[in-house]
């Protein structure tokens, strides 16, 4: 298998653009059959990063040279949809065959090989929000945020990562700002697996249920159309927006999710367990959701979640059961992407967020304890500059009073 894979890859690539110019003057010796690069290329072929003939077979019986190996690497390096493990393998191959790649015009000097060991990404944004409860004083907020996310390569599979944030309330006349290290974790990326250790963002259900950091460990697995993940650790309730679960300090937490995504259809099921610090009582929240893309422009999604948290008592307009459920129905047309200037999207949602389920949701113009409609639009003003406008027409689940919300954001990514 190893011999036929490599020889077929050689034949397929030698007939490419470089072969006519260089094949008759190849100055490089053969790659030994037991060279580690042979196994690396075979793995990349199995992952689809390097491909064979159009009929998906590999054939031929030639030896492979370092020059021909460099051609394969150069072609694979041009691909963008490569997972982290295969990218690490390509980087290792590029370092091994740096001289041959340089001869092909693909520069991989020692400086360049190590220049991206530490990568920085980030966000700068301005948020305006106006919450207008019926018969109460409106609350306006103006906040600026600057976020840096460094990622340092440790080896071919592991990296060290962090998130630093500085926030400033623009209504306050002060020169200071709140700066904090929000996240810090080690991440291992393998073929089908990803592991995290440290303090990182929960991703089991970080839209409707919990958009917050946990300190612990997480493991994700993906094979074809099926995915699974588990995370566990400790959670501080300092930032939770739900009034029913706050005040318990730090709590133990576990979460698990199963997913399936193919041909525009995606489904997901999750379960999250919380020890709210009261008589060692463990409370669970489960959710199911689905999304479907009719084409590249139109998609719909729905999600439902329920909790077994013991709500103290029924309150005015809501029963105990009213506060123990949540759901979201959303329709989206197109969508704004930061890389594509003038791209845009509009969406409409109806959401119901019981306090005992939506502990810390992600949404902009609705929060825990409300239900109602949200209308929104996004537009990419310039490359990496996206504007968002959203309006929420909501009701308080406990009082039945109207709560209107206006939200606006300008976000710069780098």
Q: What angle do CA 68, 74, 78 make, to 5 degrees?
A: 150
Q: How many Cβ atoms sit within 10 Å of the Cβ of residue 54?
A: 7
Contacts of 259 (CB under 8 A, 6+ apart): 226, 227, 228, 266, 267, 268, 269
Q: In terms of pLDDT, which residue wins out, 157 or 72?
A: 157
Q: 82 vs 42, 47, 68, 258, CA distance in Å? A: 15, 9, 21, 23
Q: What's the gap between Cα 393 and its chain centre?
A: 29
Structural domain spans, the chain? 2-115, 118-413
Say how far apart CA 323 and CA 309 lie, in whole Å. Answer: 9
Can you give the pTM of this predicted structure?
A: 0.71
Name the least confident of 70-84, 356-370, 375-389. Answer: 70-84
**For 223-233, how does the pLDDT look when each residue is reduced to its tens digit (9 = 90+)?**
989 999 999 99
User: How does 18-40 read in b/e, with b if 16+ C-beta sit within 10 Å?
Assistant: beeeeeeeeeeeebeeeeebbeb
Say how far apart CA 250 and CA 209 lie, in whole Å. Answer: 17
pLDDT at 111: 40
Name the least confident of 191-195, 236-240, 374-378. Answer: 236-240
Name the least confident of 38-47, 87-96, 338-347, 388-397. Answer: 38-47
118-413 CATH: 2.40.160.10
Distance, first Cα to last Cα, the chain: 43
User: Is the pLDDT score of 379 beyond 60?
Assistant: yes
């Amino acid at each position: 298998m190893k011999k036929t894979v490599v020889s077929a890859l050689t034949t397929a690539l030698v007939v490419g653009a470089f072969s006519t110019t260089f094949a008759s003057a190849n100055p490089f010796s053969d790659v030994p059959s037991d060279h580690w690069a042979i196994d690396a290329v075979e793995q990349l072929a199995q992952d689809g990063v390097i491909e064979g003939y159009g009929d998906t077979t590999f054939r031929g019986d030639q030896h492979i040279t370092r020059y021909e190996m460099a051609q394969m690497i150069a072609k694979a390096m041009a691909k963008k949809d490569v997972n982290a493990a295969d990218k690490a393998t390509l980087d290792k191959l590029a370092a091994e065959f740096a001289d041959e790649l340089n001869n092909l015009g693909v520069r991989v000097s020692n400086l360049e090989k190590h220049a991206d060991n530490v990568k920085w990404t980030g966000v700068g944004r301005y948020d305006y929000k106006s919450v207008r409860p019926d018969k109460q004083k409106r609350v306006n907020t103006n906040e600026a945020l600057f976020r840096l996310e460094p990622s340092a390569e440790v080896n071919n599979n592991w990296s060290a990562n962090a998130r630093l944030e500085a926030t400033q309330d623009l209504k306050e006349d002060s020169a200071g700002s709140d700066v904090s290290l929000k996240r810090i974790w080690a991440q291992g990326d393998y073929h089908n697996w990803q592991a995290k250790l440290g303090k990182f963002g929960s991703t089991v259900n970080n839209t409707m249920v919990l958009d917050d950091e946990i300190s612990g460990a997480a493991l994700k697995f993906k094979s074809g159309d099926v995915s699974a993940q588990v995370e566990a650790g400790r959670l501080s309730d300092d930032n939770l927006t739900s009034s029913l679960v706050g005040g318990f300090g730090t709590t133990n937490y576990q979460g698990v999710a199963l997913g399936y995504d193919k041909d525009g259809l995606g489904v997901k099921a999750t379960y999250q367990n919380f020890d709210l610090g009261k008589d060692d009582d463990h409370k669970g929240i489960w959710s199911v959701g689905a999304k479907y893309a009719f084409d590249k422009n139109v998609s719909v999604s729905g999600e439902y979640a329920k909790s077994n948290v013991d709500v103290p008592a029924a309150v005015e307009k809501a029963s105990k059961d009213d506060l123990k459920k949540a759901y979201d129905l959303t329709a989206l047309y197109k969508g704004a992407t930061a890389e594509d200037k003038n791209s845009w999207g509009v969406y409409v949602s109806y959401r119901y967020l019981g306090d005992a389920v939506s502990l810390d949701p992600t949404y902009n113009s609705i929060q825990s304890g409300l239900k109602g409609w949200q209308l929104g639009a996004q537009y990419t003003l310039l490359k990496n500059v996206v504007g968002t406008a959203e309006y929420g027409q909501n009701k308080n689940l406990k009082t039945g009073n109207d709560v209107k919300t206006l939200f606006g954001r300008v976000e710069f990514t780098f």
